[in-house]
Amino acid sequence: QHFFSNSLPLEGKRALVTAGPTHEAIDPVRFIGNHSSGKMGYAIASALQSLGATVTLVSGPTQLPTPPKVNRHDVTSAQEMLEACSSHFETADIIVMSAAVADYTPVSVASQKIKKKDTNLEIALKKTTDILATLGKKKTTKQTLVGFALETENELQNAQDKLQRKNLDYIVLNSMQDKGAGFGGDTNKVTMIDRKGETQQFELKSKKDVANDIAAVIIAHQAAINS
């Protein structure tokens, strides 16, 4: 292998990364969304590309520029994200689902703008398909599947349960406790958990550096798969 020491560690690998929120239409002018900026997912896409991977970034609505040499596939809703991910999944060696996918979407989209009335308004919602769990069911032993978890209580246990339930190789737990971590900002603090339940806690750092920490874990996993 050292004959190719000039090559990058993820040369020849394909990666699928999701980022940003999804927007679930209520009517032609309104949607249900969340505060995800997409910065973490874009940083991961950029890191994997820099390390040699061919990267497809399935992105919900964000204000961010496309990272250099990354193939960006824009989507709006959870259903569109599912379809985009399904079409790129089989050829991907590495899949990182950092998008903040809506858990619920309106049962129906009003064809005209909903007019206000004197009564309260109720919007019926149905569950979206869990994209990560869907991909987890199809995962092969050659693939590295990474999910994210956002918890406000019982964090480690809930994250580990998600990893098992969705058949992931790793789950990245976003710490909500620390200032400077999570939505919107340029820094994050994460813990990575593997299938054995072993945890690796990282310091508060820039999302770029967090992305490289996650990429390093992925590189080690891919190397173990191929050895």
Which partner in Ca ion, ligand CTP, none is near 78 (CB below 5 to 8 A by kind)?
ligand CTP
| Choice among 34, 71, 158, 167 that is catalytic | 34
In terms of DSSP bridges, do strands 94-97 and 14-19 run parallel, antiparallel, or are they unpaired? parallel
Q: Which of the stretches 5-13, 144-152, 179-187, 188-196 binds ligand CTP when contact is defined by CB under 6 A? A: 144-152
Question: What are the CB-based long-range contacts (under 8 Å, 24+) for 185-189?
Answer: 185/39, 186/39, 188/40
Is 166 annotated as belonging to a binding site? yes
Contact 219, 51 (CB under 8 A): yes
Q: Return the axis-axis angle of helices 207-225 and 39-50, rounded to nearest 10°.
A: 50
Positions touching Ca ion (CB under 5 A) are 103
Is 34 one of the catalytic residues? yes
Q: Annotate each residue in 56-95 with x if it binds ligand CTP (CB under 6 A) or - if it does not, as one string.
A: ----------------------x-----------------
Task: Among 17, 45, 149, 190, indicate the residue that binds ligand CTP (CB under 6 A).
Answer: 149
Is 103 annotated as belonging to a binding site? yes
Task: Among 74, 80, 83, 103, indicate the residue that binds ligand CTP (CB under 6 A).
Answer: 103
Give the 3-state DSSP-derived string for 62-93, with helices as H, strands as E and coil as C: CCCCCCCCCEEEECCCHHHHHHHHHHHHCCCC
Q: Annotate each residue in 161-200 with x if it binds ligand CTP (CB under 6 A) or - if it does not, as one string.
A: -x--------------------------------------
Structure tokens at 1: 């292998």
Task: Give CA–CA dist 75/67, Å, rounded.
Answer: 17
Task: Please report how close the Cβ of residue 103 comes to Ca ion at its closest, in angstroms.
Answer: 4
Structure tokens at 101: 């996918």
- Binding status of residue 150 toward ligand CTP by CB under 6 A: yes
Q: Which of the stretches 116-124, 145-153, 190-198, 217-225 binds ligand CTP when contact is defined by CB under 6 A? A: 145-153
Largest CA distance in the chain: 74
Task: Give CA–CA dist 181/130, Å, rounded.
Answer: 25
Question: In the complex, which residues of this chain contact ligand CTP (CB under 6 A)?
Answer: 78, 97, 99, 101, 103, 128, 130-132, 147-150, 162
Active site residues: 34
